Amino acid sequence: MRATSRRSSLVFEIAVVALLVAGSAAWIFRAETRPTQRDDLKRSVSELRSLAAETAVLAEQFRDGRLAADLWNAHLELLREKVRDNEKELGKMRPTLEMVSSHGAARVSSSQVTTAMDELAKLGDEPPAPSSDPATKLGKAHDDLTVAASELQELEQSLES
């Protein structure tokens, strides 16, 4: 009788563990394949807006000579890495039909931010002399980041409604 009882208990425990594993696998699969929710896109847009605005401020400080070269390079690289991660996240999203347009706008803005940041990274360690070609490139990158941050803020607000 005891052997039958132990065997039944063991079978029950195995069944419970199998159900837990199957449930976890189904939950992970659903999380990976579900359509992007409005809040997910809004969070990515908000983060990208913040990164663009922060990089624009960083570019101003660099232009004005208020940043050491090491701080400029390290901070810019950190921001670039965060933007790359954000771009990857946007690339993995599966927007619903109602969000395709907003998602596309976010990806375009992300590309613009990346391009501007790449231009800033090419400037080197020292702030460019005024009226030089590098100073013009820094100004353009700054302006592009400011415009992108503004556009992303509008997109973020449209996702709130």
**Dihedral of the CA atoms 105, 110, 112, 115 (nearest 10)?**
-160
Q: Give the total residue count for the chain.
A: 161
Residue 93 in 3-state DSSP? coil
Q: How far are the Cα atoms of 1, 12, 95, 126 from residue 81, in angstroms, in the given order?
A: 64, 49, 24, 21
- How do the pLDDT tens digits run along the chain, 161 residues long? 566 677 777 777 787 777 777 777 666 665 555 545 888 899 999 999 999 999 999 999 999 999 899 999 999 999 999 999 999 999 998 888 888 999 999 999 999 999 999 999 999 888 999 899 999 999 999 999 999 999 999 999 998 86
Is the distance from CB of 44 to CB of 88 less than 8 angstroms?
no
The pLDDT score that the predictor gives to residue 152 is 96
Tell me the C-alpha distance between 80 and 34, whole Å.
Answer: 28
pLDDT of residue 52: 97
pLDDT computed for residue 18 by the predictor: 72
Distance of CA 54 to the CA centre of its chain: 14
- Provide the residue ranges of all domains of the chain, joining segments of one domain with +: 1-34, 37-160
Q: How far is CA 75 from CA 70, 83, 120, 136, 143, in A?
A: 8, 12, 12, 21, 19
CA distance 42 to 102: 9
- 0.85 surpassed by pTM: no
| Residue 137 CB-half CA count within 13 A | 16
